Amino acid sequence: MDTDVTTGQAGRGVDRRPALMLALATLGFAVNFWAWALLSPLGPRFKELLSLSASQQALLVAVPVIVGSLGRIPVGALTDRFGGRAMFPLISAATIVPVLFIGVAGQGSLTALLVGGFFLGIAGTVFAVGVPFVNAWFPPHRRGLAVGIFGAGMGGTAISALTTVKLVKTGGAATPFVITAIVLAAYAVLAWLVMRDAPGRTVPTQPLMARLAATAKLSITWQACILYAVAFGGYVAFSVYLPAYLQTAYGLEQADAANRMAGFVLLAVLMRPIGGWLSDRIGPLPVLTAVFAVVALCAAVQAFTPSLMPVGTIAFLTMAAALGTGSGATFALVAQVAPADKVGSVTGLVGAAGGLGGFVPPLVMGLIYSRLGSYGLGLALLSGVSVMTLVLTVTAVRSAARRRSPAPQARTVSSR
């Protein structure tokens, strides 16, 4: 009987470890994304202090985002090799340097801010660390929800949006950066002491460049890149451009438009785990099919600029829910279909596509409005792109998914 009790306690102890690792990974994602987004809320302040043009201000905000997006490619491959237990504290500790540089010495010139922003982009690569780390701790039938919960850590950008300007006003220009650096340091220590890679984690033996080349040859890599560029890219685009759209198209005040954008973002973040959970239950392909159908319909409705209450509000909130769901479902698909030793590499490329995908729609919307005086054509194009992505999902993506079965490592942790 003693043996049975001991075994039962050990089993329960092992069963709790995936949840703990997921919580630590999600916390690390949120903290690093908090740091990654520090410059954006301060863009208007730097524009005034340094007499920046609109294009210079846009460049300042864009640099860490672009670096963070492209940096996911090598970081994902490195995570496949060295594991999240090493990469989470490494990324967090490395981010402290640019955060303190900007806070203490880097706010006096555009050049210094751009240099600091470039290295601040390191924080944005943490997404490519978390997906393979979490993926290895859960069996296929639970990975969608787990990766979706981790993905909700992107809400860390909301911490920056809500606190950065207030902290500057109450404590001085360096305050939000110093506080963020302290939190990053505390997390790096916690991650190093507590985090562990999953037992039986598949470690690749190929060199980095060879693995990246092999990953690029996988059809699912590029298919998931397209899916994520539309789903997460659409979320990023609206979270950036929605206030300007609402002010221009509907004449809303800045505060009202910002509050509505916050609602859009919050709903999308909350729906990301739901997308993963639904993918576990019915499969990611039916979820993605529904997502792109809903986005196509809502964008088509909004192309006619209907009244904001209730039609416009319903259209945008429904799109937010669909885009968040699609973001979660895309990585549920990656977790199921990508080879176990290449999940990080695939995640890096797909994550980069999603981050970069968010920059195209605002540019297109702004150009169309400047030429036509209406956003209708831009939203019609979004509807068309969603229809094409829907067709891709039910044809090529479905075919690629059927050719691969779930990874054989499925129950190495949870079923013990």
Work out whether the CA dihedral 132, 138, 141, 145 comes out positive or negative: negative
- Read off φ and ψ for residue 206, nearest 5 degrees: -70, 155
For tokens 């004449």, the residue is: 251
Q: Check for a shared fold between 1-198 and 207-407.
A: yes
Choose the weakest-confidence range: 16-30, 183-197, 207-221.
207-221
Residue 8 has pLDDT above 70, yes or no: no
CATH annotation of 1-198: 1.20.1250.20
d(CA 222, CA 336): 15
- Read off φ and ψ for residue 291, nearest 5 degrees: -60, -50
The pTM assigned to this predicted structure is: 0.78
Q: Which CATH number fits domain 207-407: 1.20.1250.20, 3.20.20.100, 1.10.630.10, 3.40.50.1100?
A: 1.20.1250.20
- Domain spans in the chain, listed from the N-terminal domain onward: 1-198, 207-407
pLDDT of residue 96: 97
Of 263, 104, 129, 140, which Cα lies nearest the Cα of 187? 129
| DSSP, res 41 | G
Question: pLDDT for 37-69, tens place per residue?
Answer: 888 888 878 888 898 886 787 788 778 888 888
Token output for 317:
């909130």
Question: pLDDT for 361-372, tens place per residue?
Answer: 877 877 788 788
Question: pLDDT for 260-300, tens place per residue?
Answer: 877 888 899 899 999 999 999 999 999 999 999 999 999 99
